[in-house]
Structure formats: C-alpha cells, structure tokens
Structure 1
Amino acid sequence: MNVLVAMPDGALREDFFPPSTKARLESIADVTWNESGEEWSRAELRDRIRGVDVCVTGWGCPQLDAAIVERADDLELLAHTGGSVATIASEAVYDAGIAVVSANDVMAEYVAEHVLGAILTHVRCLGELDAAMHRGRTDPDSYAVGSLHGSTIGLVGLGTIGRFLLEHLRSFDVAVRVYDPYIDDDALEDFPFVTRADLETALSSDIVSLHAARTPETIGMLDAEELARIPDGALFVNTARAELVVEDALLDELRSGRFSAILDVFHEEPLPDDHELRDLENAFLTPHVGGSQIRPPLTESVIDDIERYRDGEPLEHEIPRSAWTLMTR
C-alpha cells in the first residue's frame, strides 16, 4: 500500500505526526512524505499522485481537482487529518469513486467539550472569581454566579459538534431548541429535552450557540435584525465561523452590553492586537482552539481508517458526498 503524505515538513506536521504516530503509519504502508517544507501546488501534487493508493492531507493542502484525479491512477482513499474536506475533496474525487475520510467527528467532540467548558466558565463566573481572588478579594456575593441548570439553549445549526454537545447537555436540566433546516425529522428523537424550532425561537434563548457550516447560504445569516432577537442578559457563543455573523452588528450589540459573547473565531485571524473585541469585558475570547490544538488523536483516527481500508473493512470516519456539500468552505 503506497501512502503519500502531502503535508509539508515542519512544526505543524510534527504536531499531527509525533514520532509514535509517524512510525505507526510507516509500519503499515510504504510512505512518501512531502519533505520540501513548503505546501505543494496542485501541479506539484499532480506530479506525485501516480501510483498512490492513499493520499493524506492537512490544512493548507491543495484540493484534489479533476486534473489531479485524472493522474491518480491507483488512488482509492483520500484521508484528511483536519475536519472539513470542503476545499480538499471535489466532485471529481467522488465521481471517481475515491473514498474520503477525515477527523471531522473526532475534532467535533473536542469542540463540543470546549463549548461546554466555556459556557460553564461564564455562567459560574469562574474567570471573574479567579481574577478577584488574585487581587485579594473574597466577596463572591458581588458576582452574578449562575447555573446552567434550568436554562434554555438555542443551537443555530446542529451538525456533528452540536450532536456531541447535546450528549454533554444530558446531565443538565435544560431545554434545547435546535434550528437546522437540513436535519431529518427523526434526528432529535433520542434527545427528549430537545425540540426543533425556527430561527427566531432558537435565538430567543438564554444561551445561543452557533454551529452552522460556513457556506454561501449561511455567510452573514446573523445580522443586526437577527442578533436583536437575542434576549437581554443572554450569552452568544460562536465556535463555528465568524463570517456567519455580521461583525459590525455583533460589535454594536456587545458595546451596548445587552448580552455577552464567547468567541473562538474571528473575521481576521489571528485577531489584531488593536481589535475592539479585546477591550470589551463582555466578550470572552479564545484563539480558534476549540478542537484544533488536540492534534495526534485526529491523525490516529485517520490512520485507523487507513488500516480499515487496507483490511477491506467499513470506514468509520467516511465523509459521503451529501455531507461534503454542506461542510464549511
């Protein structure tokens, strides 16, 4: 089995392929590594794809377009160490019958954990209490410590992350409203505390968490009119993509102090040092680390599927064409 790893040599690949993971892949296949230290262009990948059974990609790798697929005479599996394969796979890949797998569902589990942890940090005022203790203050009654129990939670978009989040929320006495026009009617039947809702209802919750994919249809879906539906004192969470929200509209709302926000994604990344968000006390900020910093397990899940491919077993992390069309681009 010939495996081509298109990710360039460097610190990022070392994060995804620590020595034990690299050795594991090399123990099950003949592996060719991109040792150039530079991201390959589509032309460079096309020159190297002939005779390859499995192509392993990561962030920054080129899309396998029709020209590459035409040259890929033996390619049967495209394995992506990241989440979304929207810009890695292509219609040509699926038309050629090449299976596509990614670490999307593994990464989603870590993002859901991040969302829950950030929400609990907010409602329990952990950041403020910690800062107060370091300043020598011990008066907890001056902080509005709350609880997740009894809250209404609106999920705008469900997806894999949202499903993992619902599993975490089973432990709390919450009522969840899901707005997602793409889910089947029976998608929520295992969650008795969850109901389908329209966008207005989902936004009118105590906590609103955004989980829609970034597609041409969803960019700017939350503008000033929609954000105005979020109640006073609510919490808005975005670990999806910043472009789903009109930035100026969100800044207006945060300046007013009407609600608070937890943001892991931004219109410009890394967030500029002088960006206004850094000065807003009601904005809890993290640098797009919801799932992306926990990297070796992502690669391990992809290698698991490479082994299943080798052994003729069903793939566990396969991304069908129907899911690919809805992924973040």
Structure 2
Amino acid sequence: MPSPQLPRAVFALDPVHLPLLFPPPLMARLRQAAELDPALVVRDFTDPAAAAALAEAEVLITGWGCPHLDAGVLTATPRLRTVLHAAGSVRSLVGDALWERGITVSSAVTGNALPVAEYTLAMILLAGKDTFTHRERFRSTHAYPSPVETAHTGNVGRQVGIIGASRVGRRVLELLRPFDFTVLLHDPYVSAAEAAGLGAQLLSLDDLLSRSDIVSLHAPDIPETYRMLDGERLALIRDGGVLINTSRGALVDPDALADELVSGRLHAVLDVTEPEPLPAGSPLYRLPNVFLTPHIAGSLGNELERLGRIVVEELERLGAGAPLAHEVRHADMARVA
C-alpha cells in the first residue's frame, strides 16, 4: 500500500523562536509528520517569495510574531484547514474569517500554563515566608530577624485565593495540594462541587479578597474582567496582603494598585502590568514591597520545546486521522484568554 501523503505545512512566526521550539530531534520528528521547508518562516503573508508555499499549505504552524490571520491571509492560503499555534492564547491571532471558513485551531496553551503555574507556586511560597520583606531588611540591617519580626511569617494555614479556574489556575490549584494552605477560589463558571474537587472553597470575589492572605490572578483578559480589581476591591484585601498577577495587567486598576503599594498597605508580585513595561519613572520599580519581573512566567528558553512538542503531537494526530487534543473552539473564545 502507498504511504499516506503528509500534510503540507508552513511556519508563520518570528524565526528567532524556531530553534528553541523545534530543536533538531523534534524538527526531525516534525518533518516525519508534515511536508515543509524548515528554512521558510513567514512573517509577511503578502511576500511573493512565500506565495507558492502558502497556496499549497494545509497547516500553518504559528507562534509569537505571527500576524493576525485575517481574510487576506485566508485568500493567500486557499487549502488551509488547520492552524497549530506553538504558543498560548490565540485571541489576537484568529478572527471571524477563520472561524467562518471552518478552519480547525489548536493551541499549546496547556504547555504554556505549566511554567506560569510553577512561577506562581514559587511566589506564593516565598510570599508566605515574607521573603521579600526580610530580604530588604537584611540588606539594610545585616542582622537576622527577631522572633517578633517573624511572628506572622510562615505558610501553615495561609489563606490563598485563586481568581480564575483557567488552565493556569487549575494547575496552580493542583500544585498547592501538598501544602498546608486553605485554598479559596472565585470563578463564575465553576460550581461549589467542582471547586471542592479542585481542592478549594468557592467564594464570591469580594469574600475571597477579604479572606485571603495571598491573592493570585488567573482570569482571562476579556471585557467582563477589565479592571475587576478596582480601588474598592483592592481595599478589601487585608493589610499586608499580597497580590500576585501573572495574567494580564488590564485586570487591575493600575492607579488604584499604585496607591495601595506606595502606601505600603499591600505587597505585590507583578509579572504583568499596565502599561507593559511600566514607564521608567514608575515608583513600582523602587518599592521594597513590590517584586517586578519582565513577563517571564510563561515559557522561556528550554521551556519552548514543550510547546513545539505539543504541535508535533497534534500533527501526528492529524496524520492518523485522530481528533486534536488541544483544539480551541469558537464558542470558547468569549471566556478564555
């Protein structure tokens, strides 16, 4: 019997990411699952040099740096039937024209959720030990803290509030299970029974904020969550509470948050901000109660290979006639990141 014809695929992303997404062994496996030119990486769908390959492409392998897939792109790719995204959210990538044509979309968002959850767990544990405060104090005093100064330090019985049972949020909930935390959850799409199954107590947003020592944001950036933590809600967090944001800066009122942090009432671990990055004059760079990182919680370095591996596995499923394991459906777009 003749071997089945491999689907024709084209890379569409910033080529700087390609070697980390698909190191040589994984690239070899990819080329066994699809017919593609590894030297052709499209950034401009109007580039004449890419026209012939795009006209034959059945699969686009996209990633960071891929332009929005609008009607013009679909005109250039008349045979396109599948988009495999080697990154997280596809919200800025796909639009109505793609859904209307019935193109299947898959995302490596599950793979990208893991390092975000790991970062979050690390920050929760460090925040519970009051690590950042003790570090700043040790820098200036060179002295070990007294029992009085550590009386409220520790992770036993900490109330940790998770906002959003997203893929990241669920992974964080899973990682928190071995620890002596009381875990609270707010998500309007989750029932109390489901929350209990995730190891958390379901609460309203206001109740979660008022009861939590540490609040971690994992909700999607959609109109319903815009500025969900405004000044009134930030004020509900108890004095000395910690806000961790690895989601999107738009979920928090930046002026209200800055006021709380400048006053010293709250602490924050911020991997995302609004705007991003913050202007050079922002006080948040200098505050001892703020730990800022430059959007590093998601996949970086060797973690990108995990995203590439998800894409290769999806291609192998396509070749075997099996359903995609990480399909993104149009109906989900209203409530996912």
Q: TM-score, normalised by structure 1?
A: 0.88
Aligned to 2:189: 182
Q: Is the contact made by 2:10 and 2:60 (CA closer than 8 Å) also made in structure 1?
A: yes
* SS class of match (1:31): coil
* TM-fit CA distance, 1:217: 2.5
Q: In the alignment, is residue 150 of structure 1 matched against residue 154 of structure 2?
A: no
Equivalent residue in structure 2 for 1:253, among 260, 263, 266: 260
Once residues 182 and 228 of structure 1 are traced to their aligned partners in structure 2, the CA distance between those partners, rounded to angstroms, is 25
* TM-fit CA distance, 1:172: 2.0
Q: 1:19 to 1:88 in 2, by over 3 A?
A: same
Question: What is the identity, as a one-letter code, of the residue corresponding to 1:172?
Answer: F
Aligned length: 324
* SS class of match (2:115): helix
Equivalent residue in structure 1 for 2:43, among 33, 39, 43: 39
Once residues 139 and 25 of structure 2 are traced to their aligned partners in structure 1, the CA distance between those partners, rounded to angstroms, is 40
Q: In the alignment, is residue 52 of structure 1 matched against residue 61 of structure 2?
A: no
C-alpha RMSD over aligned residues: 2.6
* SS class of match (1:208): strand
Q: In the alignment, is residue 244 of structure 1 matched against residue 248 of structure 2?
A: no
Question: What is the identity, as a one-letter code, of the residue corresponding to 1:83?
Answer: G
Aligned to 1:298: 307
Q: Deviations over 1:67-125 (max 9, x none)?
A: 43355333222101110011112233233332211110111121111001011122224
Q: Is the contact made by 1:6 and 1:34 (CA closer than 8 Å) also made in structure 2?
A: no
Once residues 123 and 81 of structure 1 are traced to their aligned partners in structure 2, the CA distance between those partners, rounded to angstroms, is 34
Aligned to 1:210: 217
Q: In the alignment, is residue 231 of structure 1 matched against residue 235 of structure 2?
A: no
Once residues 132 and 186 of structure 1 are traced to their aligned partners in structure 2, the CA distance between those partners, rounded to angstroms, is 43
Once residues 242 and 32 of structure 1 are traced to their aligned partners in structure 2, the CA distance between those partners, rounded to angstroms, is 38
Q: Is the contact made by 1:86 and 1:325 (CA closer than 8 Å) also made in structure 2?
A: no
Q: Is the contact made by 1:223 and 1:249 (CA closer than 8 Å) also made in structure 2?
A: yes
Question: What is the identity, as a one-letter code, of the residue corresponding to 2:67?
Answer: P
Question: What is the identity, as a one-letter code, of the residue corresponding to 2:44?
Answer: W
Equivalent residue in structure 2 for 1:76, among 81, 86, 99: 81
Once residues 195 and 187 of structure 2 are traced to their aligned partners in structure 1, the CA distance between those partners, rounded to angstroms, is 11
Question: What is the identity, as a one-letter code, of the residue corresponding to 1:314?
Answer: P
Q: In the alignment, is residue 196 of structure 1 matched against residue 205 of structure 2?
A: no
Question: What is the identity, as a one-letter code, of the residue corresponding to 2:209?
Answer: L
Q: Is the contact made by 2:33 and 2:312 (CA closer than 8 Å) also made in structure 1?
A: no
Aligned to 1:6: 12
Question: What is the identity, as a one-letter code, of the residue corresponding to 1:300?
Answer: R
Same amino acid, percent of matched pairs: 36
* TM-fit CA distance, 1:187: 3.3
Q: Is the contact made by 1:85 and 1:327 (CA closer than 8 Å) also made in structure 2?
A: no
* SS class of match (1:82): coil
Equivalent residue in structure 1 for 2:124, among 119, 128, 132: 119
* TM-fit CA distance, 1:219: 1.8
Once residues 124 and 319 of structure 1 are traced to their aligned partners in structure 2, the CA distance between those partners, rounded to angstroms, is 39
Q: In the alignment, is residue 89 of structure 1 matched against residue 94 of structure 2?
A: yes
Q: 1:44 to 1:227 in 2, by over 3 A?
A: farther
Question: What is the identity, as a one-letter code, of the residue corresponding to 2:204?
Answer: D
Equivalent residue in structure 1 for 2:108, among 99, 103, 119: 103
Q: Is the contact made by 2:262 and 2:283 (CA closer than 8 Å) also made in structure 1?
A: no
Q: Which moved more, 1:280-289 or 1:44-53?
A: 44-53
Q: 1:206 to 1:8 in 2, by over 3 A?
A: closer
Aligned to 1:28: 33
Structure 1 spans left out of the alignment, 5+ residues: none
Q: 1:184 to 1:44 in 2, by over 3 A?
A: farther
* SS class of match (1:85): coil
Once residues 8 and 89 of structure 2 are traced to their aligned partners in structure 1, the CA distance between those partners, rounded to angstroms, is 24
Q: Deviations over 1:30-71 (max 9, x none)?
A: 1135747x8325x44994532212101111212222343355
Q: 1:301 to 1:216 in 2, by over 3 A?
A: same
Counterpart mapping for 1:56-67 below 5 A: 56-67=61-72
Aligned to 2:169: 162
Q: TM-score, normalised by structure 2?
A: 0.86
Once residues 30 and 318 of structure 2 are traced to their aligned partners in structure 1, the CA distance between those partners, rounded to angstroms, is 13
Question: What is the identity, as a one-letter code, of the residue corresponding to 1:207?
Answer: I
Once residues 229 and 200 of structure 1 are traced to their aligned partners in structure 2, the CA distance between those partners, rounded to angstroms, is 7
Equivalent residue in structure 2 for 1:220, among 210, 215, 227: 227
